[in-house]
Amino acid sequence: MSGRRIFARPARFAAIAPYVWMVLFFLVPFAFVLKISLSQTAIAQPPYEPVFDLTAGWEAVKTALAALSIDNFRLLISDEIYAFAYVRSLTVAVTATVLLLLIGYPIAYGMARLPKRWQAVAMVLVIVPFWTSFLIRIYAWINILQHDGLLNQILLALHLVSQPVVWLSTDSAMYIGIVYSYLPFMILPLYATLAKMEPALEEAAGDLGAPPWQVFWLVTFPLSLPGVGAGVLLCFIPIVGEFVIPDLLAGSNALMIGQTLWLEFFTNKDWPVASAAAIVLLVVLLVPLLLYERLQKRQLEQGR
Amino acid sequence: MRKLSRLSRFNIASLALGLAFLYLPILILVIYSFNASRLVTVWGGWSLRWYHEFFNDRAMIEAAWMSLRVAVSSATIATLLGTLAAVALSRGERFGGRTLFSGMLYAPLVMPEVITGLSLLLLFVALNAERGFWTVTIAHTTLTMCFVAVVVQSRLGSLDRSLEEAAMDLGCDPVRAFVAVTLPLIAPAIVAGWMLAFTLSLDDLVIASFTTGPGSATLPIRIYSEVRLGVKPEINAICTLVIVLIAVVIVVASLASKLSSSQGESAAPL
């Protein structure tokens, strides 16, 4: 016991370098986002008007605070494009997460029921695509989904369609891309809880006469809920801010918030509005983020 | 028993379909990278033409070189900082601002990359830092050290602390006990953390786009701008090369971790 306490002190010193790094490059940048979101748009380089200058002392800070404007946030509320983008982001994220759960669950379940040796193999097989560049995986789907791509060639050869179907630049292409990219994030937490589950519980339910679907619905699924929660949050949060997949695979008619932020920043060069959009996105995601953190803490404690 | 076997046939089918879904697109891409035809989807026989094209594309090669340099340096810094963070969190008991510290380490794991990228760019602009290699490296380090910390921390959590305590009872000071006992035991996790950081950096498009300057594009940025203009067979070749590189990294990493985990197992009963 005393040994552990001796160990604890140098360990605390280990925190210094990463702590300073994270404050400098994670926390401080947010202060800048917040500051610029409250600034006036200016046509200049860099394109925003600074609201305060710390070198000028406290008086300057006071006048600056008086000059802060919430115009950018007001614009976000009043402009239909933004409201639409937030709604669209949430709809896409909910739909994709439900799809991921429906597709990922049977796969995770199949993995958990394999013999122990094969479980390890299956796990590696699921993780490897996650290590492969995600841009490459999206590009692979462009190859398949384009007008004269493999999917249309197969459908035509099988006489399932009489002329090529438009896949690219549709919502279905975007959902295929999102499901494909995030599938490992859904499978792994699901598999982790399903593999830990006592098979005797399912067998007992079966012995007592429950048909397989009832065994699943009344025993397996409720016991796997922690994994479902982790998988859902792990997919839902990043999908809301997704930018590349909708940009490459979906049509340009309905933009998600990640895309509007990107456009506002790089094309319109309206940094304050982009910053305000980022803040609102963060606030929207704060609830699932906190939920995720709590879930992870609980799982860490259970793991011990 | 009957019911169970029918259930397992469903299991196997869903597993097979799932894996096919995960692997077929990548396989198709690799096959088409050897396609001689200019049309991406018409098969014109086997050829290395697009690999040739890539190696003669100066801009692409420069972007690939930039990506590799950023990935190696950011992964190395991130592994150092991430390991320190993991040690502090799992061995440091309580210290001031611990909650803030772990919060900052977990948030980038799930936060949308647009926010991370935007905030770092605004910082660099405010500091008047010239954007290029170092700003991208710093940005990637910030993101990937969190992944390293999680990987190393989970390994530290599963270690038997009595090993460290025994070393200290035998007269090691804490730092020596860590270097001589703990470090070799968590080495596989550190290697895995470096590999993860390396591939994440190599893969990142969004954060790099925000933090890089003119003339220093990374490979994903180049690929992305090409893909937006339409499908080019050369991209298939580049993607295949990246896949091969990452496959090599994974094989080396798993060999390394197998080697040291078998050492760890033989050490554990002691």
Q: How confident is the model at residue B254 (pLDDT cuts 50, 70, 90)?
A: confident
Cα Rg of chain A, angstroms: 25
Residue B20 with chain A: CB contacts under 8 Å = none
In a domain, A3, yes or no: no
Alpha helices (runs of H) in B178-232, residue ranges in sequence order: 183-203, 206-211, 219-229
> Quick one: which H or E segment has residue B13?
helix B2-32
Phi, psi of A149 (to 5 degrees): -75, 180
Spell out which residues of chain B touch residue A274, defining contact as CB-CB under 8 Å.
118
Contact partners, residue A279, CB within 8 Å, separation at least 6: A33, A34, A37, A73
Instruction: Give the range among A79-88, B67-76, B77-86 with minimum mean pLDDT.
Output: A79-88
* pTM for this entry: 0.83
Is residue A91 included in any domain, yes or no? yes
Which member of A29, A106, A128 has the closest CB to residue B120? A29
Q: Which two tokens stand for residue B196?
A: 């993860």
Are the beta carbons of A26 and B104 separated by less than 8 Å?
A: yes
Domains of chain B (ranges; CATH) run 57-261 (1.10.3720.10)
CB-based contact B123 A296, cutoff 8 Å: no
Smallest Cα distance from B208 to chain A, Å: 13
> Which residues of chain A does B221 touch, with a Cβ-Cβ cutoff of 8 Å?
none
How many residues are there in chain A?
A: 304
Q: According to the model, what pLDDT value does residue B3 have?
A: 44
C-alpha–C-alpha distance, residues B188 and A116, integer Å: 22
Q: Mutating which of A13, A16, A22 best tests the B interface, going by the most B Cβ atoms within 10 A?
A: A22
What's the pLDDT score for residue A7? 53
Which pLDDT tens digits describe chain A residue by residue (304 residues)?
444 454 556 677 788 899 999 999 998 998 888 888 887 665 545 556 555 455 555 665 566 666 667 777 777 777 777 888 888 999 999 999 999 999 999 999 888 888 888 888 888 888 888 777 788 888 889 888 887 788 888 888 888 888 888 888 888 999 999 999 999 989 999 998 888 887 777 778 778 877 877 888 888 888 888 889 989 988 998 899 888 899 888 877 678 888 888 888 888 888 888 888 888 888 888 888 888 778 777 766 665 4
Q: Is residue A27 part of a domain?
A: no
Q: A135: which chain B residues are within 8 Å (Cβ-Cβ)?
A: 203, 205, 220, 223-224, 227
Q: Looking at residue A102, what is its pLDDT?
A: 95
Q: A259 CA to chain B: closest CA distance, Å?
A: 9
- The whole-number pLDDT of residue B270 equals 28
Report which listed range, A27-36, B71-80, B101-110, B183-192, is most confident: B71-80
pLDDT at A8: 58
Residue B171 reports pLDDT greater than 80 = no
- When pLDDT is cut at 50, 70 and 90, the band that residue B234 belongs to is confident
Tell me the residues of chain A between 151 and 170 that have a Cβ less than 8 Å away from chain B: 153
| Percent of the residues in chain B that have a pLDDT greater than 90, as a whole number | 25
The candidate with the shortest Cα–Cα distance to A278, out of A48, A94, A35, is A35
CA-nearest of A136, A248, A166 to B229 is A248
Q: In this structure, is residue A254 part of a structural domain?
A: yes
Model pLDDT, residue B269 = 32
- Asked if the Cβ–Cβ distance from B103 to A293 is below 8 Å, we say yes
Q: Is A122 buried (19+), middle (13-18) or exposed (0-12) by CB count in 10 A?
A: buried
Contacts with A38 from chain B: Cβ below 8 Å: none
Chain B contact present for A103, CB below 8 A: yes
- The answer to whether residue A276 is domain-embedded is yes
Q: Do A29 and B119 touch (CB under 8 A)?
A: yes
CB within 8 Å of B55: residues ≥ 6 apart: B61
Query: SS3 for A41?
Result: strand
- Give the nearest chain B residue to A231 (CA atoms): B110
In this complex, which of A28, A148, A296 lies closest to B106 when CB atoms are compared? Answer: A296
* Residue numbers in B near A150 (CB within 8 A): 28, 41
Lowest mean pLDDT among A10-19, A290-299, B46-55, B221-230: A290-299
Give dist(CA A239, CA B86) in Å, integer: 27
Of residues A4, A111, A275, nearest to B165 (C-beta):
A4
Q: Is residue A258 part of a domain?
A: yes
A44 touches chain B (CB under 8 A): no
Residue A149: list chain B partners with CB under 8 A: 41
Q: Counting one residue from A and one from B, how many pairs have CB atoms under 8 Å apart?
A: 277
Partner-chain residue, chosen from A103, A143, A278, that has the shortest CB–CB distance to B118:
A278
CB atoms closer than 10 angstroms to residue A92 = 23
Query: How far is Cα A36 from Cα A40, in angstroms, rounded to an integer?
Result: 8
Task: Please tell me which of the candidates B88, B154, B205 has its beta carbon nearest to residue A135.
Answer: B205
Question: Which parts of chain A fold into alpha helices (H)?
Answer: 2-14, 16-22, 28-37, 57-67, 71-78, 80-112, 116-131, 134-145, 150-157, 171-196, 199-207, 212-215, 221-223, 225-240, 244-249, 257-266, 271-303
What dihedral do alpha carbons A196, A197, A199, A205 form, nearest 10°? 180
In-domain check, residue A135: yes
Question: Which is more confidently placed, A296 or B225?
Answer: B225
pLDDT at A215: 81
In chain A, how many domains are there?
1
Tokens of B22: 């995960």
Range from A91-95, B35-39, B45-49, B238-242 carrying the lowest mean pLDDT: B35-39
Q: Does A143 touch chain B (CB under 8 A)?
A: yes
> 10 Å Cβ neighbour count for B160?
10
Residue B5 pLDDT exceeds 50: no
Say how many CA atoms lie within 13 Å of A68 toward its Cβ.
14
Rounded CA gap, B268 and B185, in Å? 10
**Are A109 and B235 a contacting pair at CB < 8 A?**
no
Instruction: Provide mean pLDDT across the span B50-78.
Output: 91
Tokens representing B149 are 């910390």
In chain B, residues with a C-beta closer than 8 Å to the C-beta of A154 are none
Q: What is the ipTM, given to two decimal places? A: 0.83
B110/A126 CB distance under 8 A? no
Q: Do residue B112 and residue A136 have CB atoms under 8 angstroms apart?
A: no
Given this model, what pLDDT does residue B135 score? 95
Beta carbons of A90 and A241 less than 8 angstroms apart: no
Q: What is the CATH number of the domain that holds A269?
A: 1.10.3720.10
Sort out which chain B residues have CB atoms less than 8 A from A258's CB and list them: 112, 114
* B169: chain A residues, CB-CB within 8 Å: 3
Interface subset of A 72-101, CB within 8 angstroms of B: none
Q: What token pair was written down for A18?
A: 């990463």
Nearest one of B207, B78, B208 to B147, comparing CA atoms: B78
Report the residue from B8, B110, B231 with minimal CB separation from A292.
B110
Tell me the residue range of the domain where A146 lies: 76-303
Lowest mean pLDDT among B31-45, B67-81, B192-206, B229-243: B31-45
Q: Give a yes or no: residue A62 inside a domain.
A: no
From the CB of residue B70, how many other CB atoms can be counted at a distance below 10 Å? Answer: 29
Q: For an interface test with B, give the residue of A103, A139, A150 to mutate (most B CBs within 10 A).
A: A139
